[in-house]
Amino acid sequence: MAKQANKLVIVTEKVLLKKVAKIIDECGAKGYTVMQSGGKGSRNVRSSGQPSSSDTEANVKFEILTENREMAEDIADKVALKYFNNYAGIAYICSAEVLYGQSFCGPDGC
């Protein structure tokens, strides 16, 4: 069986890593995955492999699975309001079906 879930994806600047993680925790999400990322957007190409002695160019991508859509929207709103005026960032929701995952489905599985 699979359990319906919302996958919230937030791509933003690496300098915000800890701050976004804090917001996600505060909103009550059970967990998240972060990966390094890069690409092109409204603020030019970021993390395109240029050498850099500081971390201001790097991006991160958060993936958060939530049971209800409200929590996902809550997280996205809080992050976007606080940071997206001044930092590069995008947030979107996909629907997902969780197959395995103890913290999400409980000890008995999905």
Residue 1 binds another protein (CB under 8 A): no
Residue 42 binds another protein (CB under 8 A): no
Segment interacting with another protein, rule: CB under 8 A, options 1-9, 27-35, 45-53, 100-108: 45-53
Task: Kindly tell me which of 55 and 97 has the beta carbon lying closer to another protein.
Answer: 55
For residue 16, CA distances in Å to 9, 60, 89 come to 15, 9, 10
Are 65 and 97 in contact by the 8 Å Cβ rule? The answer is: no
Residues in binding contact with another protein, number by CB under 8 A: 20
Q: Which of 30, 37, 87, 96 binds another protein (CB under 8 A)?
A: 87
What lies within 8 Å, CB to CB, of 6 at 6+ separation is 65, 66, 67, 68, 69, 71, 72, 93, 94, 95, 96
Residue ranges binding another protein (CB under 8 A): 13, 15, 44, 49-56, 58, 77-78, 80-81, 83, 85-87
